[in-house]
Structure 1
Amino acid sequence: MKIEPVVLENRWVRLEPFAPGLKEALRAAISVDPEAWSIMVSTAYGEAFDPWWDGFMKRLAGGRDTPYAVRRLSDGRIVGASSLHDLVPEHRRVELGSTFYHPDARGGVINPASKRLLLGHAFDSGIVRVEIITDAINARSQAAIARLGAVREAVLRRHKTTHTGRVRDTVMFAITDQDWPEVMARLDARLAAFA
């Protein structure tokens, strides 16, 4: 199985698979806010952006990751990135993550609109389980994931090492194909409030 890197669009955002022409607009959008990057596993801040980009482009070419630049349709500006990555075809499982938005795109319609498209694309592609993980110290991220309707399943102790060298605990959430109709309805109702 494969998740095709196709453009995804709704009323609020257009998700565009990474391509060379998007690189500088994406750099401007996400190579900001070093404090927010400080708790991430990897970083695209400053000099780290090029290796971060190159890694995603390599994994995109290999069919393992499907990274997207997030374009806000109200002004046409690239405001962030998100990805369906670490695809495990034999188990029909993928992770939704590597999400980072410019500060002026946080807290509104951008994240739920993007997640609605990414989750729909994953399940339409035959995925049966989408995992969403976050740092145990990132309460804001955990709350946003829970608002999506994902099920909190576990805390993986000392699971990953961040780019700063801190060993983190990871909170694991998941949405299965059986959960998707209810999650989709919740997201659609949430997005209707922005219409």
Structure 2
Amino acid sequence: MKIEAVVLENAWVRLEPWVLPLKDDLRAALDIEPEVWAMMAGTGQGEHFEDWWQAALTRTAAGTQVAYAVRRLSDGALVGTTSLYDIRPEHRRCELGATFYRPDARGGVVNPSCKRLLLAHAFEAGALRVEILTDALNARSRAAIEKLGARFEGVLGNYKITWTGRSRDTALYAVLARDWPEVRARLDARLNAFA
């Protein structure tokens, strides 16, 4: 399994691997909603952006992450970020996450479009398992993951420490290669409703 850092695009979004020309637009897109960032293990908001940017680039260079800027094609706006990370070729698995969208990009076509592209990219690269983790308290995120058709595998107690220092219980979901055709069909049906 080798997950390449390539542009992924469909009718609604273009996922662009992080490169320097995207940095300022990405910083602006992420510098909002401190209460949402408080649920995450790391933060890309405000003064923390530079360290977050550099850490993702370092992991990308090491082959353990592909960080993407999310561009909404209807207006060309950069509306957030998402990643394939904790890439483990020896186990043919990775995580899909480190996802943050501006409020105006939530609840519509952006998230299912991104998930469709990223899951396809991972499974076409040979993944057997794609994990999606979120704060157990993040009801909005959990609902979106469940709507995808990912399997809920349980809550991992005290699994992460958020950047604010809170010990976070983490809800674990996964899409397995054998589930991908059904999940793909479900996502395609949702996306067709936007066509």
TM-score range, shorter chain: over 0.9
The aligned counterpart of 1:191 is: 191
Q: CA deviation at 1:32?
A: 1.0
Whichever residue aligns with residue 63 of structure 1, its letter is G
The aligned counterpart of 1:51 is: 51
Distance 1:114 1:66 in 2: 13
The aligned counterpart of 1:8 is: 8
Whichever residue aligns with residue 169 of structure 2, its letter is D
Whichever residue aligns with residue 133 of structure 2, its letter is I
Q: CA deviation at 1:31?
A: 1.5
The aligned counterpart of 1:28 is: 28
**SS, match of residue 67 in structure 1:** strand
Q: CA deviation at 1:192?
A: 0.6
Distance 1:38 1:4 in 2: 30
Whichever residue aligns with residue 39 of structure 1, its letter is M
Q: How many residues align?
A: 195
Whichever residue aligns with residue 95 of structure 2, its letter is E
Whichever residue aligns with residue 108 of structure 1, its letter is G
The aligned counterpart of 2:38 is: 38
The aligned counterpart of 1:163 is: 163
**SS, match of residue 81 in structure 1:** strand
Residues 106-126 of structure 1, C-alpha deviations (whole Å, 9 max, x = no match): 111000001000000000000
**SS, match of residue 107 in structure 2:** coil
The aligned counterpart of 1:104 is: 104
Whichever residue aligns with residue 43 of structure 1, its letter is T
Distance 2:96 2:33 in 1: 22
How big is the alpha-carbon RMSD for the aligned residues of Structure 1 and Structure 2?
A: 0.6
1:108-187 residue pairs with structure 2 within 5 A?
Answer: 108-187=108-187
Q: CA deviation at 1:103?
A: 1.1
Gaps of 5+ in 2: none
Distance 1:31 1:115 in 2: 23
Distance 1:77 1:8 in 2: 16
**SS, match of residue 152 in structure 2:** strand
Q: CA deviation at 1:159?
A: 0.7
Distance 1:18 1:2 in 2: 18
Task: Give the % identical residues.
Answer: 62
Residues 53-106 of structure 1, C-alpha deviations (whole Å, 9 max, x = no match): 000011111111011000000011110000000011111000000000011111
Q: CA deviation at 1:148?
A: 0.5
The aligned counterpart of 2:77 is: 77
- List structure 1 segments (4+ residues) > 6 angstroms apart after TM superposition: none
Residues 128-163 of structure 1, C-alpha deviations (whole Å, 9 max, x = no match): 000000011111110000000100001101111000
Residues 29-63 of structure 1, C-alpha deviations (whole Å, 9 max, x = no match): 11111111111111111000010000001111111
